[in-house]
Amino acid sequence: MSDKIILFDTTLRDGEQAPGFSMNLQEKIEFARQLQRLKVDVIEAGFPISSPGDFESVKTIAEQIEGPQICGLARARNEDIDCCWEAVRASARPRIHTFIATSDVHVEKKLRKTRQEVKEIAVRSVERAKKYTDNVEFSTEDAARTDWDYICEVIEATINAGATTINVPDTVGYSNPWEIEKLFRYIFENVSNIRQAVVSCHCHNDLGLAVANSLATLRVGARQVECTVNGIGERAGNASLEEVVMNLKTRREFFGFETGIDTRQIYPASRMLTRFTGVSVQPNKAIVGANAFAHEAGIHQDGVLKERTTYEIMTPESVGWSGQGMVLGKHSGRHAFKTRLEELGFRLNEEELQKAFEAFKVLADVKKKVFDEDLIVIVHQQAHSADLDRYILHDLIVEVGKNGPRATVVLRSNGNTFQESGTGDGVLDAAFSVIKKITGLEESVLTNYNCSSVTQGTDAIAQSTISLRYKDKEVVGRGTDTDVVRASVKAFVDAVNRLLITEAKEPVKDIV
């Protein structure tokens, strides 16, 4: 049995379909490129039939991303499978991932079918997918609550039908390491053709055991782990990619497994995801949290200064923590700027590079030192957001006097200028109310607001994220500036633009 573990990243599917984590097409493509740099084995790019937007993003990723297998999810329905193939077929290494629920509660209450009917549907779906590609994955949704003998029946039948990967998901995070290890062992002992397929785990984190459960399945024969960056996903999320990978790397002598992951790309992937979704990881998050490599206690600091391994079982550099990195300033040239962006993993065309360089020069006149984190924000904000701009913040004037806060906002759109003034409970409330009036989104509701510094110091870039809901749509807007008020207003304008151009996804109830 191979000691190579296949890393199947579902950030763009399971992770992205969680409320508040949606990304636009450009962000999905950029994140897929980061997963390519991370060297994941499989990218589950989305659920093509769920919406035209999801189909387009999966298709574009299949066309543009080389290296990883590009996978799409499909329910055990002909139309889902056909749509999935159309989305992934351009990839050099396409995969169709189809599934159906097998637990009695799903079979009887949701599907309203018999076990035999479900098994027959599973077989037919794999056979249909197999007509398109030899690379077919089948999942038994809610496996952890499925009768063990029945799940073995379904797995054996779908392997005979042509499935090359069998995924056994703990869809609702119900299991624990001891129990799921026994389940997987039972499958290996009772499915006669199990060695003809790669066995995969897909664990959810409802009880905080997703990573532990995933590692337990590897010990008894699973060779693929389905996970997400930062552990995002439905409800409490999925197994965290960075935690699974660094467990296997740091405890190599215990687990005895290898991955093809470039661990130095873990932290950049985590940061990119938080920028795109507006959802930060908690400071004490393993591997990528702000405190993961911080040492405040005097005894710990003394030990680390004398010998890092006293309190560090891995180095920050091993997962891509670059500290403050290369420092650029207002005298830095275009060549140095371009070189540093390439070292950070960005490949910009001439137009994108010029826009980013001009924004860098503006920032460098305000800040004495521009760090890597600042550069990453500049690239995202300047080079990849032009397609979103229906309204652009041209000017902002805020007043805090005896009559209360007042804001005057000037927006531009398609050569036209719009100016309004208004009051509110604070300067931001006043500015947001004015923007709603200009754009006709008075009924929109602010559901979340966050503003933090990208780097340290009084001249640090402020990064603001805003969640805005209008009718059945909810989007995340982002804005950056050295002024916190302007950063927040830019984020609000960005959210408004996203509301105006983003199509709502069709609801999809079935998940793995």
- The tens digit of pLDDT for each residue in 211-238 reads 999 999 999 999 999 999 999 999 999 9
Tokens, residue 472:
């059945």
Q: What are phi and psi of 158, to 5 degrees?
A: -75, -30
Residue 402: the pLDDT is: 78
Q: 198-203 and 224-227: which strand pairing?
A: parallel
- Sign of the CA dihedral running 25, 28, 34, 38: negative
Which of 19-28, 125-134, 239-248, 292-301 has the lowest average pLDDT?
292-301
Q: At 234, which amino acid appears?
A: E
Report the C-alpha dihedral over residues 428, 488, 386, 27, rounded to 10 degrees. -130
Which of 374-383, 427-436, 441-450 has the lowest average pLDDT?
374-383
DSSP 3-state assignment of 21?
Answer: coil
Q: Residue 177: which residues within 8 A CB-CB, separation 6 or more?
A: 209, 212, 213, 215, 216
Q: What is the mean pLDDT of residues 312-319?
A: 86
Write down the residue that tokens 């795109």 correspond to: 276
Q: How far apart are the first and last CA of the chain?
A: 26
Whether pLDDT at 2 is above 80: no
| Cβ(441)–Cβ(477) below 8 Å | no
Tokens, residue 136:
């077919």
Whole-model pTM? 0.79
Write down the residue that tokens 């390439």 correspond to: 342
Whether pLDDT at 172 is above 60: yes
| Positions of CATH 3.30.160.270 in the chain | 389-501
Residue 502: the pLDDT is: 59
| Positions of CATH 3.20.20.70 in the chain | 6-277
Whether pLDDT at 68 is above 70: yes
List 284's β-bridge partners, or say none: none
Q: At 236, which amino acid appears?
A: A
Angle between helices 25-38 and 52-64 (to 10 degrees): 40
CATH architecture of 389-501: 2-Layer Sandwich (3.30)
DSSP 3-state assignment of 213?
Answer: helix
For residues 486 and 479, give the distance between their C-alpha atoms in angstroms, rounded to a whole number: 8
CATH architecture of 6-277: Alpha-Beta Barrel (3.20)
Write down the residue that tokens 């007042």 correspond to: 406
| Cβ(506)–Cβ(483) below 8 Å | no
Three state DSSP letters for 389-417: CCCEEEEEEEEEECCEEEEEEEEEECCEE
Q: What is the mean pLDDT of residues 344-361?
A: 82
Residue 54: in which H helix or E strand, if any?
Answer: helix 52-64
Q: What is the mean pLDDT of residues 121-139?
A: 98
Q: At 125, which amino acid appears?
A: S
Q: How far is CA 38 from CA 33, 64, 68, 78, 255, in A?
A: 9, 16, 10, 33, 21
Residue 322: the pLDDT is: 64
Average pLDDT for the chain: 88
At 433-489, the pLDDT tens digits run 999 999 999 899 998 888 877 666 655 678 888 888 888 788 888 888 888 899 999
The model's confidence at residue 114, banded by pLDDT at 50, 70 and 90, is very high
Which of 19-28, 389-398, 412-421, 438-447 has the lowest average pLDDT?
19-28
Q: Residue 143: which residues within 8 A CB-CB, separation 6 or more?
A: 102, 103, 151, 168, 169, 170, 171, 183
For residues 137 and 74, give the distance between their C-alpha atoms in angstroms, rounded to a whole number: 10
Greatest C-alpha distance within the chain: 80
